[in-house]
Amino acid sequence: MNTSRGFTWRSKSKRRLALAVCAVGVGGATPLLAAERVGVVAVTGGSANGAPNTAFSAFGLPIINGPGQVAFSTVLTGSGATANNDTGVWIGSSPLTLAKAVREGDNAVGTSIPTTYSDFRTDIPVYSAFNNAGQIGLTFIPLKSGTSSANYGQFAGAAGAIKLINRNSEAYPAPYTGTWAGKMFLGINGNGRLAIGDLYTAGFVGSSTASLTLVAKVGNAAPGVPNATFDQVYPGTIYLNDAGAVTFGSTLKVGASFVGNTLFAGTSAASIGKLAASGDAVPALGAGYSLSTIGDAPSLDRSGQILLAANVSTPSSGTAAGLWLTSSSRAPLQKVALGTDAAPGLAAGVRFGAFSGARLAADDLAVFNSTVTGSGVTTSNDSVIWRYDHGAFKSIARESDQAPGAPAGTKLSSFSALTTNTVGQVAFTATLTSTSGTSTALLGFDASLGLTVLAKKGDVLQLSPTDSRTLASLTLALLDDGGNGQDGQATALNDAGQVAFRAVFTDNTQAILTTRIPVAGDANYDGIVDTADFKTLMGHYGRAGVRADGDFNGDGLVDFIDFQMLEQNFGRHPPPVAAPPVDASRVGESVPEPSALALGLLVGWGHGRRRRRRRS
């Protein structure tokens, strides 16, 4: 690779592209000062497809899958809506493609007695999973039989094919004894397989409701822990990837004595064993270190790698927070970071403190939030979002940092709703603080371009050529723990960099919107860097412009620096949708396991990603 004179030549084709720039003259017409783009999925007042004579009047928080379908709960209004049918869940990528998934008052398919759905709330998430085949998991849904309550149920399926998974007070499937408690966690992997956690009581994994495998139940022996039995199986932390790897947390008992939280994992439901437990030695740190408090929400990726949070007891009788990498095959813990470690890239003497929001992307790539301590650290700058990549740390955002693209003196604070995808892009919300007040913002990070403010309070968003509205607030979904698009849980960020969020405007209307984390060189916001972007850049070369014109570094001018950014990223495109397609009507029935060929292609794609990243 030749880097003379500040140029970076990465291939012969890219060298030819660079020479073409030198041959094109500068000048031309007035630049198009385009605003950042948003995709409109639904707007209050818009017709609710599949529900005649109704319109959307309020929205819950949206989730998104790999192909870009968005799911959201909603309240309906209009002559076709009554108190008994005015809520529901819709799925689609635009107003024209929206379809009713399920609506209050519909018959609940699969229950043992005639029932109807009673309510789909917008103040809390009613969905727990949404895979690339369009299958959605609905959990803790109230039911009615006539006018009487019929308890709660879990349901799953594609729009128009939602089926019962279980209902509280009904029996577990044979041969297991017990009854469903009702407040349950439901995950669905890309192959339609289910992961079910039942209110601290049990955990199941299976390809259908009739063929579930019990992986944990209160009172049963805990595999890998002598004389121990399961005490409380955490219902919101049973994660399942497309290859069938599973991980979850539970407290244990030995006799009548309580044992702290323990994590379990296996490459399949039949191979569950102890992953990490309080008191375990930590060989990676040397003699005298052992695990103490263990978080109950590990993060699982599609290759079976697991990221977990666990404090350690030190030889000096102190404790330190820690983040660790391991695998569903229960490989030895590999340290990511300790609370006593120096915080890389920050001032001398500044160290990590506590960790939160840790999410695994893929291939030794993760994001997390931490507090920091030490010289110069105050409560106004002690929170940092980090990206971990093969042992290297990068501070993505720190409280009191200047907000990118905002007026000087606008500072970041109060990070929340941190999420990531398989390529290590990051989305989160933050508060922007300046002398004029505070505002909520949605931010995105891509390694090629850095941190970007995607939307913020006060922005004027163009919903159509004749409809512009001022943003009053926005919210990004964060559903319990996990949720990276690989662990059977829902996410607000897909691998194409699309982020789904709820917007509230100053006129009190609402919308479900998407935006895309920008990539250097992608002028037309399609997630691909190709000749179309090159033509856009050349059409504005040497003039004032914005990102849609080819100004990728945000300095207001389309110039050779922007071309270099495009050249270095040329050919980039989102990864293929990883999950093999399944019949979207077959949740609750047997579905095939991933074929060896599909898994081989997936592994090969992962290896290619590693090679490309290491060359960059």
**Is the separation of the CB atoms in 199 and 235 below 8 Å?**
yes
pLDDT reading at 80 higher than 60 = yes
Is there a domain that residue 10 lies in?
Answer: no
* Domain count within the chain: 2
Q: For residues 121 and 74, what is the distance between their CA atoms, to the nearest angstrom?
A: 8
Q: What is the pLDDT of residue 587?
A: 63
Give the start-end residues of each E strand in 282-364: 290-294, 299-300, 305-313, 319-320, 322-327, 334-338, 351-360
Q: Rounded to two decimals, what is the model's pTM?
A: 0.88
pLDDT reading at 15 higher than 70 = no
Q: Is residue 297 located within the same domain as residue 378?
A: yes
Least confident of 35-39, 102-106, 195-199, 223-227: 35-39
Q: What is the pLDDT of residue 371?
A: 97
Q: Is residue 361 located within the same domain as residue 277?
A: yes
Q: What is the pLDDT of residue 185?
A: 85
Is there a domain that residue 565 lies in?
Answer: yes
Q: Is residue 322 located within the same domain as residue 452?
A: yes
Q: Is residue 537 located within the same domain as residue 411?
A: no
CATH of the domain at 540: 1.10.1330.10
Q: What is the pLDDT of residue 62?
A: 96
pLDDT band at 480 (very low <50, low <70, confident <90, very high): low
SS3 content of the chain, % helix, strand, coil (to 5): 10, 40, 50
**What is the helix (H) or strand (E) element at residue 161, kind and residue range?**
none
Q: Which of 388, 499, 384, 393 is nearest to 453 (CA)?
A: 499
pLDDT reading at 353 higher than 80 = yes
H/E/C letters for each residue in 162-209?
CEEEEECCCECCCCCCCECCCCEEEEECCCCCEEEEECECEEEEECCC
**Is the separation of the CB atoms in 494 and 68 below 8 Å?**
yes
pLDDT band at 600 (very low <50, low <70, confident <90, very high): very low
pLDDT reading at 84 higher than 90 = yes
Residue, of 208 and 382, whose pLDDT is higher: 382
Is there a domain that residue 16 lies in?
Answer: no
pLDDT, mean over the chain: 86
* 171 Cβ contact list (under 8 Å, min separation 6): 177, 178, 179, 180
For residue 143, give the amino acid letter. L
Is there a domain that residue 20 lies in?
Answer: no
**What is the helix (H) or strand (E) element at residue 38, kind and residue range?**
none
Q: What is the pLDDT of residue 483?
A: 83
Is there a domain that residue 435 lies in?
Answer: yes
- Give the domain range for residue 137: 34-519+572-615
Q: Is residue 564 located within the same domain as residue 582?
A: no
Q: What is the pLDDT of residue 37?
A: 78
Q: Is residue 515 located within the same domain as residue 537?
A: no
Q: Is residue 564 located within the same domain as residue 585?
A: no
Q: For residues 329 and 459, what is the distance between their CA atoms, to the nearest angstrom?
A: 48
Kindly state the average pLDDT of the residues 391-396: 96
Is there a domain that residue 595 lies in?
Answer: yes
The string of DSSP codes covering 452-474 is: EEEEETT-EEEEETTEEEEEEEE
pLDDT reading at 607 higher than 50 = no
Is there a domain that residue 147 lies in?
Answer: yes
Residues in the chain: 616
Q: Is residue 562 located within the same domain as residue 487?
A: no
Distances (CA, A) of 386 to 419, 424, 476, 490, 507: 12, 11, 19, 22, 37
Q: For residues 353 and 331, what is the distance between their CA atoms, to the nearest angstrom?
A: 26
Q: What is the pLDDT of residue 4?
A: 34
Q: What is the pLDDT of residue 482?
A: 67
Q: What is the pLDDT of residue 603?
A: 36
Distances (CA, A) of 535 to 31, 36, 165, 539, 549: 14, 19, 51, 6, 10
Q: What is the pLDDT of residues 255-302, one digit of tens each?
A: 888 888 899 999 999 999 999 998 999 998 989 899 998 987 899 999
Q: What is the pLDDT of residue 259?
A: 85
Q: What is the pLDDT of residue 297?
A: 84
pLDDT reading at 33 higher than 70 = no
Is there a domain that residue 178 lies in?
Answer: yes
Q: What is the pLDDT of residues 555-589, one digit of tens each?
A: 999 999 999 999 999 999 888 876 555 555 556 55
Q: What is the pLDDT of residue 578?
A: 61
Q: For residues 529 and 12, what is the distance between their CA atoms, to the nearest angstrom?
A: 17
Q: Is residue 392 located within the same domain as residue 441?
A: yes
Q: Is residue 226 located within the same domain as residue 364?
A: yes
Q: What is the pLDDT of residue 235?
A: 67
Highest mean pLDDT among 74-78, 157-161, 162-166, 576-580: 74-78
Kindly state the average pLDDT of the residues 159-181: 90
For residue 403, report the phi and psi dihedrals to the nearest 5 degrees.
Answer: -70, 130
Question: Computed over its alpha carbons, how large is the radius of gyration of the chain?
Answer: 25
For residue 426, report the phi and psi dihedrals to the nearest 5 degrees.
Answer: -135, 140
Q: Is residue 472 located within the same domain as residue 564?
A: no
Percent of the chain predicted with pLDDT > 90: 71
Distances (CA, A) of 337 to 155, 296, 310: 39, 18, 11
Characterise 164 by phi-psi region: left (phi > 0), alpha (psi -120 to 50), beta (else).
Answer: beta
Q: For residues 125 and 103, what is the distance between their CA atoms, to the nearest angstrom?
A: 15
Q: Which SS3 state, helix, strand or coil, does residue 586 take?
A: coil
The string of DSSP codes covering 85-147 is: S-EEEEEESSTTT-EEEEETTSB-TT-SS--EE----SSS--EEEE-TTS-EEEEEEEEEETT
**Is the separation of the CB atoms in 419 and 366 below 8 Å?**
no
Residue, of 129 and 598, whose pLDDT is higher: 129
Q: Is residue 416 located within the same domain as residue 427?
A: yes
Residue pointed to by tokens 């727990």? 128
Residue, of 347 and 23, whose pLDDT is higher: 347
Q: For residues 300 and 308, what is the distance between their CA atoms, to the nearest angstrom?
A: 9
